[in-house]
Structure 1
């Protein structure tokens, strides 16, 4: 059953753009129709094999790069072809059918897609923007007022080598003079051996109080425990369902971290999101900053009386209009939100990208959260 659903989705993704661009009454010259049909057909046939080779057991980076790019291109074409198809139907209903309007819609959809893909590639590859947000935590002591928490999440080091980008990101984080740096998971796609050089600049990141890391769902596609150990070797505190306490000016803050919510189904012994274990031994009078990869984990944070949860995972939708689908699974897509009487949630759009090397209407970010006390 699942295979039929995947096949149906693939056919829809490829056939709708083919219909709007080539077969909806535009009556393009035969060479154009033939060439376009061959291109769509070849991409449709090659896509499953490329994804299997790139993201399956063999992990061939060239196949992943090609398959991911095809996925991004076809998604953009599909989204704008859907809008173009609706416009086309409205025009026909209004009596404006014929070859000229059909060609105009086809050209417009193609032009918009080309521009957005070029812009989206640039956005994905650029140094993330700094997004600064002040967050008031009533239980935070005055000694910790102004604490600077930098959130670096969803770096997704992958088949496109971004070692130089990684070094620039580390420099940008250090320039913010952080007290605490959080990596909220999805560090890389691939094995440690494959991504070691891209991850290495994370060792150069400095913080006044702590550098903490938790697993995301992508770590559980492979070497989750290995990434926890590797990050510890780079000087980060890997918060595997545990906490630590930082202090400044006589006031203290609990920094807690839990595994991703998918950890329990990974089959990896000892891995599951366990917030009670993470807070065991913590003074209940102290404010708690929790790092949990997925915003959906905020329900447990509310129950535990957490003051602030930091998450990533959503990428802000990454490629419009995918954020509508993300919203079906997560309580928020990006930014600061309140849950319950005490708990606030900050969801970062992330620094990198997953799969398609594009970001469209969902810019990447390095988040600077300035914590404020009630006084």
Structure 2
């Protein structure tokens, strides 16, 4: 076994350990998360030496108790069998609020109060009150900003991507990427139309959607997804499924995207030719497809590349960055993914890193394979994005740089 193989095996083992840890945490999360998310900020705001007047403490206790009880109930009604959109909006919003309050209660409770003590600011009660107001002010500001970030049309992120095997005729090929639109309980049909207008302004040769179109069935979210039919591309519009499609009748989304003029790359490929050179554009179903029980759905890279010339460069669409290990083993040149949302609400970024090999941006895996991970175009659940801005991506493919003459 070579040193490279040993390094790759060690990296894969580390990734596996991280995923197993995350999966163990997730199994117990529904039981412990609501209590922690509401109890910790409640304690920091009301029971760490502030001595608020009784009406203030009583009102705060009632508000936090309602949040602790109401959040899981609303999420169960909103995302369970009933799928009540108003309940989902309430539950998701409360989840985002509690997460931000929890985060900054911990950080400011641990850091600010000792700093105030070292600086000789006031007595214990005054420092506790300053910390409480700082937590509330910081959380309110971040939630207001994060909501605006989540609801706006994403900024376009542009970058050149150099591929060693790309022919000169394909140099300058423009690839637009949107992903994780997550049309859901909040009606974002207008937002969807504006996103599509922005994509059309990029004059792309290829437009890609790498999954998680919506939360809900194609029939339920049709109005929000319909603007995708107006997206224009010089050569092709291609789509692969994400894990959320498999929570909501994935075949219905495949059929709708086909009707809207997008080509679902379900373990298959097409050829993009330009200037006498050819690029293989392949796609695979999400890695959760096989466990969904939906007949014929699975992530199958060999099937996606079947019949393609192995000497041609390959652009692969795969929803989850975690697929890149298989892509690198299969000789893929560039994989486009989403799924991570860039963490969406900091510091959730660190939990995402336990499950995925990349959070956002361009990364190299193995000797040939590049991975571009989008932070996503929409948002899931809580209508907030904190330190994880959404994006529409324009990747300009570049042929390998020629070596400078000696």
What is the TM-score of this pair, normalised by structure 1? 0.97
Give the Å deviation of 1:7.
Answer: 2.2
Deviation of residue 193 (structure 1)?
1.7
1:88 touches 1:102 (CA, 8 Å); kept in 2?
no
Match of 1:294 in 2: 320
- Choose from 208, 211, 226 the match for 1:182: 208
1:208-357 equivalent positions in 2, closer than 5 A: 208-357=234-383
Question: d(CA) in 2 for partners of 1:268 and 1:21?
Answer: 48
- Within-5 A mapping of 1:1-375: 5-87=29-111, 90=114, 98-374=124-400
Distance 1:172 1:10 in 2: 38
Cα deviation code 1:325-358 (max 9, x no counterpart) = 1011111100000000100000000110000000
CA distance in 2, matches of 1:91, 1:33: 25
Partner-residue secondary structure (3-state), 2:221: helix
How far residue 192 of structure 1 moved from its aligned partner, in angstroms, is 1.3
For 1:248-286, what per-residue CA distance to the aligned partner results, in whole angstroms no more than 9, with x for missing partners? Answer: 111111000001111111111111111011111111011
Task: Return the offset for 1:92.
Answer: 8.8
2:346 aligned counterpart, secondary structure:
coil
C-alpha separation between the residues in 2 aligned to 1:47 and 1:5?
Answer: 14
SS of residue paired to 1:194: coil
Shift of 1:119: 0.3
Unaligned runs of 5+ in 2: 1-23
Q: Quote the Cα distance in structure 1 between the aligned partners of 2:385 and 2:112.
A: 27
- Deviation (angstroms), 1:5: 5.0
The CA deviation at 1:162 is 0.6
1:25-54 deviation digits (Å, cap 9, x = unpaired) = 111111111111101101111111111111
SS of the residue corresponding to residue 193 of structure 1 reads: coil
- Write the distance in 2 (CA, Å) between the matches of 1:247 and 1:141: 10
CA distance in 2 between partners of 1:31 and 1:88 (Å): 26
After TM superposition, give the deviation of residue 88 of structure 1 in Å.
5.7
List gaps (5 residues or longer) in structure 1: none
Say if 1:49 and 1:128 are closer, same or farther in 2 by CA, change over 3 A: same
Q: 1:4 to 1:210 in 2, by over 3 A?
A: closer
Q: CA RMSD in A?
A: 1.5
Provide the residue aligned with 2:12 in structure 1. Answer: none
Q: Deviations over 1:159-208 (max 9, x none)?
A: 00011110000000000000000000000001112210100000000101
Quick one: structure 1 residues 4 and 201, their matched pair in 2 at CA, closer, same or farther if it must change by over 3 Å? closer
Q: TM-score, normalised by structure 2?
A: 0.90
| Bigger shift: residues 87-96 or 12-21 | 87-96
